[in-house]
Structure 1
Amino acid sequence: MLSVNPLCSEALLQYIWLSGHFDPFGLATVTGEPVTILNPGQLNRDGGPDFTAARLRIAGMEWAGNVELHYRTSDWRRHGHQHNPRYHNVILHVVFEHDLPGPPQGIPVLELQRRIPKILLRRYRHLMDHTAFVPCAPLLHRVPEEVWERWTPRLIEERLARKTEVFRNWLEQTRFNWEEVCTRAMAQGYGMPVNTAAFLELFQSIPFMLLARTRPYRQRLEALLFGQAGMLETAFQDTYPKELQSEYRFLQHKHGLQSMPAHRWQWLRMRPTSFPSLRIAHFAAVLHNTPHLFSRLLDTEDIPALEKLLEAGPSPYWQYHYRLDVPSVSTAAPGRHILHHIMINTVVPLLYLYGKHMRLPQYQQRALDLLDNIPAENNRIIRGWAEEKVPSITATDSQSLLQLKQCYCDAKRCLECKVGKSLLGDDINVCREDEEDQLWGAER
């Protein structure tokens, strides 16, 4: 059970002030001056008072200016605002608890402690203390469908912004060579989930012009990639890896190449289809078969055509090997879920960034359409949401839920989440505290 008087954080107080989740009738300052809120102002995320451009009527006179919020009135002096000129035009000091004989510096003080529904405070404390998969798990069934519909596009936009930031930096590094950026991005995609960094290191170690010149010659391309990956440093029995080794030594000497340490690659606890050797072979086939990969991606509009582009078959040796010099009965091409994973994490962000950078919104829309038509991912987080009765049908659903869990739920950013805001204000005037506590307790 929570304490009878749960604390109200300043972040929650900001939310309450902005959303109006308090009794607005008969508002008055601690000295008895009537207060009417004409406009609560705009939340200020920079330095200075919490809200700017507020409009209030205090004691019959209309004021325009800033509003500062604190848990206690004494926090004004504790934070040193009396010495900061940014706070000289504060027209109202809003607090949860007034703990001084009078207002500091003569600024009117409005206390909200007795005007905020206790159930809202308790629910917020439950959210902050709850240790379930997501903080609001006991109340998720109350979230209206329209809240999800409004929140999902914003989450997708945020997730694409995160993913494209790296690509944007590569564009600047490569002087806006989209083909080179595409190659790096696709390499990362083929390395997911555990060899992402190693694949990126591999392709950053090869001058792009050398890669482009080598691309038409399959065995030379494979020699370059496996040699740079540090996978040609041992003695082999099979003819094929011996040929790759000889070819790579020539390329290495001619171009002054330095191979990666072999220990960069992860092999443990993964299926053979995810072995980095087989992934390199498959990506080498894509590069060999598609000279202008990024241009092809721009021209390929439907998912079956993208799947065909990404599942190019490697050289015959890899039909019976997962690793160099280690035979197997047969090998399998990357499963459709792997191809979809590459589309979601590479193709979609690339198209979205290209459309935004080139001001061609049709490519941004195509990226979003792809997410709408690719099946949802199946991973630990998405399964966790499914257990909470929040299903994923498409990649749009799964990507938005990944963003929500990783960037909001795990960080307890409930006050910035549309789901959290919806639940904080849901039925706060009709819920019984004992029923609410039982609901949360049942989830522990």
Structure 2
Amino acid sequence: MIVSISPLLTEDLFQHIWQFRLFTNSNLTTTEGEPVQVLYPGLHNHHAGPDFTAAKIKIGATLWAGNVELHLRTSDWYRHGHQHNGQYSNVILHVVFEHDVEFYDTDRMPPCVELQQYIPKMLLRRYDTLRQDAGFVPCEYGAAQVPDLIWHNWKERLLVERWERKTGTLQTWLLQTKQNWEEVCYRAVAHGFGLPVNEAAFLQLAQSLPHNLLARHRPSLMQLEALLFGQAGMLQDTFADAYPQELQKEYAYLRHKYKLQPIPAHLWKWLRMRPASFPTLRIAGLAALLHQSPNLFSRILEAESIAALERLFTVQPSAYWQEHYRFDGPVTQTRCPGRLAVHNILINTILPILFLYGREKAMSYYQDRALEFMETLPAEENKISQAWEDIGIRQHNALDSQALLQLKQQYCDSKQCLKCAIGAKLLRQGIV
């Protein structure tokens, strides 16, 4: 007799139920009536082949070790052509939600067990509730009930995941520069100075001016500014102020000497941002940082406290930029990067690269230091962090806010609740 699959069940959920044994494991039998004991469900296989490997299943009086294949229906085995695929020849158990075929060739097929009656209906209803929820996050009405210990461990894992995503680009740069950490750090810092809207232009600027070239001119702040503003395409106008005129002359000489080609000036974005975030002030700040800190990456490695890193990145731009936001602009008092701006570059750039260095060099000390510094920095304030606060999820430091940003973007928005420690806990609560 053919029966209908529960509308609340998905293949992902069925695999989750098997993996974590969220079913009644007593009185299980095969469709032929042999008793079944699940001693170990196996390792979830995310590649081609059976769904679980290295399982240990006792069927009747025999202990089997091998692969397990899951389907919502028994007929899916035939529908997917497994009977003709050698990868499935060593499957020891076929686990289905519904046994929907009256004829099942037990001589040629593995034993089959139907789980439909052993899965709590409450679990299916909870999962459907999570999937259908249209709020800020699927579990917004239950997330605050999850114990702090689970949240703490999950947040640390989420932060590491976020850093692993970010450091993919850094690893590419390491290959391109033959493991030149100073060059990679310089590119990353330049990219960080451009956040949130000018990061692409800043990166292109940094790639047009290698770190070793700038290092030759580090003692002269004016030459650093000439190179950076010139390569940014910002010295191509006619200026009234003496200082940009001096930069023009210096850049003309250096451009000819090094055969430089500036990036297009139209890449820079100016609209709807505060003057303190103008690319001119950010470039002036980058020049001051490079002038003040030779071997910047080495200085980062030497920093033993978050306060030391704050001092390193709190720089005063040249005199002209203490009174201007743009070339030939009105005279006005400006400020060096505030504490919030410094924290942003530490959170988004410096600590991820410090973590990567520790991993690449097998020096867990630097990985631990990066995580420790994240717990020292205050939590970020933005729309997403405020929404988490509104549902009762507190953020005590930058580790929390970055982890919750990762959770929202990579899990909640796509409703990956089964892969989330919080969603999985809420799903199983009171069941296991």
Q: TM-score range by the shorter chain?
A: over 0.9
Q: 1:21–1:116: 8 Å Cα contact kept in structure 2?
A: yes
The alpha-carbon deviation at position 4 of structure 1 amounts to: 11
Q: 1:285–1:315: 8 Å Cα contact kept in structure 2?
A: yes
RMSD: 1.7
Q: TM-score when scaled to structure 2? A: 0.95
The correspondence for 2:113, drawn from 94, 110, 113, is 110
In 2: Cα distance, 1:185 partner to 1:203 partner = 9
CA deviation vs aligned residue, 1:59-78 (integer Å, no higher than 9, x gap) = 32222211100111111122
In 2: Cα distance, 1:119 partner to 1:234 partner = 70
Q: Which residue of the partner structure matches residue 64 of structure 1? A: 65
The answer to whether structure 1 residue 260 and structure 2 residue 263 are counterparts is yes
The correspondence for 1:372, drawn from 375, 384, 394, is 375
The answer to whether structure 1 residue 220 and structure 2 residue 220 are counterparts is no
CA deviation vs aligned residue, 1:250-287 (integer Å, no higher than 9, x gap) = 21122111111111111111111111110010110010
In 1: Cα distance, 2:258 partner to 2:340 partner = 37
Q: TM-score when scaled to structure 1? A: 0.93
Mean alpha-carbon deviation: is it higher for 375-384 or for 156-165? 156-165
Evaluate the alpha carbon distance shift between residue 141 and residue 362 of structure 1 in structure 2; reply closer, same or farther with a 3 A threshold.
Answer: closer
In 2: Cα distance, 1:96 partner to 1:328 partner = 74
The answer to whether structure 1 residue 55 and structure 2 residue 20 are counterparts is no
Q: 2:66–2:91: 8 Å Cα contact kept in structure 1?
A: yes
Secondary structure of 1:57's counterpart equals strand
Q: Which residue of the partner structure matches residue 426 of structure 1? A: 429
Q: Which residue of the partner structure matches residue 75 of structure 2? A: 74
The alpha-carbon deviation at position 329 of structure 1 amounts to: 2.0
Q: Please, which runs of 5 or more residues in structure 1 have no aligned partner?
A: 430-444
Q: 1:95–1:109: 8 Å Cα contact kept in structure 2?
A: yes
Q: 1:41–1:66: 8 Å Cα contact kept in structure 2?
A: yes
The answer to whether structure 1 residue 413 and structure 2 residue 416 are counterparts is yes
The correspondence for 1:239, drawn from 229, 242, 252, is 242
Q: Which residue of the partner structure matches residue 347 of structure 2? A: 344
In 1: Cα distance, 2:363 partner to 2:115 partner = 50
The alpha-carbon deviation at position 173 of structure 1 amounts to: 0.9
Q: 2:167–2:352: 8 Å Cα contact kept in structure 1?
A: yes
Q: 1:202–1:260: 8 Å Cα contact kept in structure 2?
A: yes
The amino acid of 1:268's aligned partner reads: L
The amino acid of 2:359's aligned partner reads: K
The alpha-carbon deviation at position 27 of structure 1 amounts to: 0.7
The alpha-carbon deviation at position 428 of structure 1 amounts to: 4.2
Aligned residue pair count? 427
Secondary structure of 2:83's counterpart equals helix
Q: Which residue of the partner structure matches residue 129 of structure 2? A: 126
In 2: Cα distance, 1:316 partner to 1:149 partner = 46
Evaluate the alpha carbon distance shift between residue 106 and residue 302 of structure 1 in structure 2; reply closer, same or farther with a 3 A threshold.
Answer: closer
Q: Which residue of the partner structure matches residue 18 of structure 1? A: 19
The amino acid of 2:398's aligned partner reads: A
Mean alpha-carbon deviation: is it higher for 220-229 or for 404-413? 404-413
In 2: Cα distance, 1:298 partner to 1:98 partner = 61
In 1: Cα distance, 2:289 partner to 2:384 partner = 31
The amino acid of 1:254's aligned partner reads: K
Evaluate the alpha carbon distance shift between residue 143 and residue 102 of structure 1 in structure 2; reply closer, same or farther with a 3 A threshold.
Answer: farther
The alpha-carbon deviation at position 6 of structure 1 amounts to: 3.0
Q: 1:216–1:291: 8 Å Cα contact kept in structure 2?
A: no
Q: 1:155–1:400: 8 Å Cα contact kept in structure 2?
A: yes
The alpha-carbon deviation at position 12 of structure 1 amounts to: 0.7
The alpha-carbon deviation at position 222 of structure 1 amounts to: 0.3
Q: Which residue of the partner structure matches residue 285 of structure 1? A: 288
Secondary structure of 1:401's counterpart equals helix
In 1: Cα distance, 2:212 partner to 2:52 partner = 54
The amino acid of 2:25's aligned partner reads: P
The amino acid of 1:288's aligned partner reads: H
In 1: Cα distance, 2:114 partner to 2:268 partner = 60
In 2: Cα distance, 1:13 partner to 1:202 partner = 50
Q: 2:219–2:291: 8 Å Cα contact kept in structure 1?
A: yes
The amino acid of 2:140's aligned partner reads: A
The correspondence for 1:201, drawn from 176, 191, 204, is 204
In 2: Cα distance, 1:212 partner to 1:80 partner = 63
Q: 2:139–2:423: 8 Å Cα contact kept in structure 1?
A: yes
Q: 2:315–2:337: 8 Å Cα contact kept in structure 1?
A: no
The amino acid of 1:151's aligned partner reads: W
In 2: Cα distance, 1:133 partner to 1:177 partner = 42
Q: Which residue of the partner structure matches residue 434 of structure 1? A: none
Secondary structure of 1:411's counterpart equals coil
Secondary structure of 2:163's counterpart equals helix
Q: Which residue of the partner structure matches residue 30 of structure 1? A: 31
Q: Which residue of the partner structure matches residue 384 of structure 2? A: 381
Q: Which residue of the partner structure matches residue 86 of structure 1? A: 87
Mean alpha-carbon deviation: is it higher for 279-288 or for 400-409? 400-409
CA deviation vs aligned residue, 1:123-176 (integer Å, no higher than 9, x gap) = 112222222111111221321112112212212221222222221221111111
Mean alpha-carbon deviation: is it higher for 366-375 or for 302-311? 302-311
In 2: Cα distance, 1:7 partner to 1:31 partner = 27
The amino acid of 1:285's aligned partner reads: A
CA deviation vs aligned residue, 1:358-414 (integer Å, no higher than 9, x gap) = 232222221111101000111222112111110111111111111211222122221
Q: 2:379–2:400: 8 Å Cα contact kept in structure 1?
A: yes
Q: Please, which runs of 5 or more residues in structure 2 have no aligned partner?
A: none
Q: 2:183–2:210: 8 Å Cα contact kept in structure 1?
A: no
In 2: Cα distance, 1:323 partner to 1:103 partner = 78
The correspondence for 2:394, drawn from 382, 391, 394, is 391
Secondary structure of 1:415's counterpart equals helix
Q: Between the two proteins, what is the percent identity of the paired residues? A: 55
The alpha-carbon deviation at position 87 of structure 1 amounts to: 0.4
Secondary structure of 2:325's counterpart equals strand
In 2: Cα distance, 1:187 partner to 1:106 partner = 61
The alpha-carbon deviation at position 5 of structure 1 amounts to: 4.1
In 2: Cα distance, 1:386 partner to 1:266 partner = 32
The amino acid of 1:199's aligned partner reads: F
Q: 1:290–1:296: 8 Å Cα contact kept in structure 2?
A: yes
In 1: Cα distance, 2:309 partner to 2:110 partner = 64
The amino acid of 1:97's aligned partner reads: E
Q: Which residue of the partner structure matches residue 164 of structure 1? A: 167
The amino acid of 2:97's aligned partner reads: F
